[in-house]
Structure 1
Amino acid sequence: MQLTAHLRDSVRLPGGAALLSGFALERRGDGSRRALLRHGHELAVHELDELLAGELAPAAVFPLPRPGEPYGGPSVGPDGEFAVFAGPRAVLAVARDGTTLWEYPHGCWGCGEGRAHSAAEQRACDGPAHGSCRVSDDGRVVWAHVASGSSGQHRQEHWVVLDARDGGELARLPLEHADAAGSRQLSHPDGAHIGLSIGLGQDGVLLHWARRDGAELSSWGVNRGLDRILADVHPGHPGFLTVEHGGADLRLHALDGTVLAQREPQQGEDEDPPCWDHDCGFVDADTVLASTLDSDGDPELGRHWLLDARTLEVRGTVRYPAGPVDSYARPLGDGTWLTYDDARGTLDRWSAAGR
C-alpha cells in the first residue's frame, strides 16, 4: 500500500540537512521545536515553524564561547536568553552577547589521560569524542554528560545535573562501561525523565534513562546487553522508540525498557537483507515513520515507511508527488515530517495527503 505525501512547506536553507539527524532540532515541553544551526563561530537559533514559513532571520544568535574547539550538541534555555555548550573540557553557559555566565570544568574528552586543564590554558586537545548537554524544559537545571578523569587506561564518565543559574553541581551518576565517541540527550514530554544515548563508535550504543526528584537521582539502563539507539518520544505515546545499532529492528518500549512491539524491515527487491536507518520517529501519536535508504544500493529504491505507533505493523510506503525522495526523514510529532533536497538546497515539510 502507498500513502501519498502532501508538501506543506519548503524553504531554501543551505546546511539544513543537519536538522534531519535530530541533533540540531530541540523540542521544548510545549511541543514546539527549535532549529540550532552552527554558522562559523556562531550558533543561530530558529523557531522551526517560523523558519519553514520563510523567516530566515534567527530568533537568537550565540557566539561560541571558545571558537575553534569541538563541541557536542548545544541546548538553549526555554526563554531563549542563554545557551549551554558541551565543550571538550567544560560545560559553558553563554548569554546572547557572548558573556560566559558560568563554567563547569571537567576532564578532557580529547586527552587520553583525562587530565584537568587550568582555566588559563586555551588549548583544545585533539580527538573526536564529546559529551552532550540539555537544558530542562523548565529552565532550572542542565543535564550534562561529561568526562570526569581517568582510571588506568579507561576514561571515567558521569551524567551530572547542574543548576542552570550558576552551574553548581546538584547531582551526579557514574556511567559504567561508557567510552563515548559522542552522546545525545532527549527530554521526555512528561518533564520528569530524560534519556541519554551514548555512541561507542563501532562498539555499539549505551542507553540510559534518569529521573531527578529533589536531591535524589535515579537511573536505569535499557540496553541489557543489546545495542539500541534512542530515536524518539511523543507526548501522546506512553513509551519510546529505539532502533538497533545495525538497523536490524525497531522497538517500542515502556519507560522501564519493557519491549511493547518490534518490527524488522521488510525484504525488498535487493538480495541483501534490508536494515532500518538510524533516523526515525513519531509522525504523531499513532504513526511512526522509518526509512530503509542505507540498505538500498540504488537511492531510487530507498523508501520511507509508515508504521502503526502501537504495534509497529506496516501501514505502507510513502509516495511523493514529484517522484522518490532520497533523503532521510525527521518526523516532528505534529503529523508532519522533514526531508532535505540536496539538489535544490531546500528543507521540505510533508504530511499525509488529506491531513
Structure 2
Amino acid sequence: MSITAQLTDSVKLPNGAELVNGFAFEGRGDAARRALFHNGHELEVYDLYEVFSGERAPAVVFPVPWTGWDRGVDSVSPDATFAVFSGQRAVRAVGSDGKQLWEYRHGCWGPELGHPHTGDEQEVCRGLEHGSCRVSDDGRLVWAHVVHGADEYDWQEYWVVLDARDGHELARLPLGSAASGSHHVSHPDGLHMGLCIGMGQDGILLHWARWDGKSLTSWDVNEGLDRILMDVHNGLEGFLTVEHDGADLRLHALDGAVLAEGEPESGDDENPAGWDHCGGFVDTETIIASTVDSEEEPDRARHWILDARTLRVRGGISYPTGPIASYARPLGDGTWLTYDTRNGTLDRWTTATP
C-alpha cells in the first residue's frame, strides 16, 4: 500500500541536516521543538515552529566554553535560560549572557598513560570518545554520562544526576560501558530518563532511571541485546528501539518487556532490507521508519508508516517530489522532517487526507 505525503512547510536552512540526522531536538509533540545548532563557537537555539513561520534568527545563542572540543551531546533548559555542555573533562552550565553558572569536573574522555594535562582548559586530548547530558523537562535536573579516573587504566563511566541550580551531584550510577559516545532520551512522563551508550564494535547498552528527589532507581534493558534507543511518545508507556544492524524494530514497556516487533518488508536474499537508526513516533498511532541507509544508498532508501502499537507496516510513503534521499525525523505532532541536500531545504510532511 502506498501512503501519499503532503508537504506542509519548507524552509531554506543550510545546516538543517543536523535536525534530521543527529540529536539536535529537545521538546516534543505540541510543545515548542527546540532546535540546537552548533555554529562555530556558538550554540544557536531555534524554535522550530517559528522557523517555519519565517523567523530566521535564533531565539538565543550560547557561547561554547571549549573552542577546540566539538564532540559530546549538549542540552538547553526548557525556558532556554541556560545551556549545559558535555565537555571532555567537565559538564558546564552557561547562561545566555555567556557567564559560567557552574561546572562539574570529571575524568578525561581521552586519557593517555603518562599524559598530564597542562592546566589549559582549552586543551583537547586525543580520542573521539565522548559523553552526553540532558536537562530534565522540568528544568530541575541535569543527567550526564561522564567518566571518573586518572588515566586509561583507572577509570569508570558513570551516569550522574546533578542539581541544575548549582551542579552538585545528587546521585551516580556506575556503568559497565566503554563508550565511544552516548545520547539521552527524556521520557514525556517527566520522571524517567533513558541513556543509550554506543561502544563501537562492542555493541550498545541501554539504561533507564528515575530520580524521585531522594533516591535513584535504575535498570538496564540489555540482557545480551544490541539495541539503539530511538524514541518515546507522550500517551504511550513504552519506547522504541532498533536492532544495531537494522534487523527489526521493537516496542518495549518501560521495564524492557517487548510489546511488539516489526521487520522490514522489502529486500531479498541478495539485498536484505534493514531499518535505519533514525525514526520514531509521528503521533500516538503511527511510526515512521526507513529501510536501507538513506544517507549511504539513497537510491534504495524508502520511508514507511507503521502502526505504533503493533509495528505492522501500513504502507510505503510516496512523496509528490519523488524519492527523498534523507532520513525521516518525526516531531510527534503528526508531522515529520526530511532534508533536501540539493537545494538546502528542511521540509515538513504529514500524510495526505484522502
Amino acid paired to 1:246: D
The answer to whether the aligner puts 1:325 opposite 2:319 as a matched pair is no
Distance 1:114 1:252, change over 3 A: farther
| Contact 1:274 1:292 survives alignment (8 Å) | yes
Matched residue count = 354
Mapped to 2, the partners of 1:71 and 1:229 lie a distance apart of 19
Mapped to 1, the partners of 2:53 and 2:283 lie a distance apart of 21
Aligned position for 1:94: 94
Mapped to 1, the partners of 2:5 and 2:351 lie a distance apart of 5
Q: Which moved further from structure 2: 342-351 or 286-295?
A: 286-295
Secondary structure of 2:18's partner? helix
> C-alpha deviations, 1:302-336, integer Å up to 9, x for none?
21010000000010000000111111100111000
Identity %: 64
Mapped to 2, the partners of 1:65 and 1:345 lie a distance apart of 29
Secondary structure of 2:23's partner? coil
Aligned position for 1:265: 264
| Contact 2:112 2:151 survives alignment (8 Å) | no
Secondary structure of 1:281's partner? strand
> C-alpha deviations, 1:145-172, integer Å up to 9, x for none?
0011168736410000111111111111
The answer to whether the aligner puts 1:304 opposite 2:303 as a matched pair is yes
Mapped to 1, the partners of 2:263 and 2:13 lie a distance apart of 34
1:244 CA drift (Å): 0.5
- In the superposition, the TM-score normalised over structure 2's length comes to 0.95
Mapped to 2, the partners of 1:101 and 1:206 lie a distance apart of 32
Q: Which moved further from structure 2: 240-249 or 20-29?
A: 20-29
Aligned position for 1:142: 142
Mapped to 1, the partners of 2:156 and 2:242 lie a distance apart of 26
Aligned position for 1:43: 43
Amino acid paired to 2:45: V
1:299 CA drift (Å): 2.5
Aligned position for 1:128: 128
- CA-based RMSD of the aligned residues comes to 2.1
Amino acid paired to 1:201: G
Distance 1:89 1:116, change over 3 A: farther
| Contact 1:193 1:209 survives alignment (8 Å) | yes
Q: 1:206-245 maps to which residues of 2 (within 5 A)?
A: 206-245=205-244
Aligned position for 1:197: 196
Secondary structure of 2:19's partner? helix
Secondary structure of 2:277's partner? coil
Aligned position for 1:84: 84
| Contact 2:76 2:82 survives alignment (8 Å) | yes
Mapped to 1, the partners of 2:95 and 2:73 lie a distance apart of 17
Aligned position for 2:353: 354
| Contact 1:76 1:83 survives alignment (8 Å) | yes
1:295 CA drift (Å): 8.1
Aligned position for 1:60: 60
Q: Which moved further from structure 2: 286-295 or 342-351?
A: 286-295
Distance 1:109 1:42, change over 3 A: same
Mapped to 2, the partners of 1:301 and 1:315 lie a distance apart of 19
Q: Which runs of 5+ in 1 are unaligned?
A: none
Distance 1:17 1:270, change over 3 A: farther
- In the superposition, the TM-score normalised over structure 1's length comes to 0.95
User: Which 4+ stretches in 1 moved above 2 angstroms?
Assistant: 28-32, 112-122, 150-155, 267-271, 295-301
Secondary structure of 1:280's partner? strand
Amino acid paired to 2:345: T
Distance 1:135 1:295, change over 3 A: closer
Distance 1:327 1:214, change over 3 A: same
Distance 1:115 1:217, change over 3 A: farther
Secondary structure of 2:104's partner? strand
> C-alpha deviations, 1:195-228, integer Å up to 9, x for none?
0000101221100000011220011111211111
Distance 1:308 1:81, change over 3 A: same
1:182 CA drift (Å): 0.5
Distance 1:264 1:120, change over 3 A: same
Secondary structure of 2:261's partner? strand
Distance 1:133 1:118, change over 3 A: farther
Amino acid paired to 2:304: W
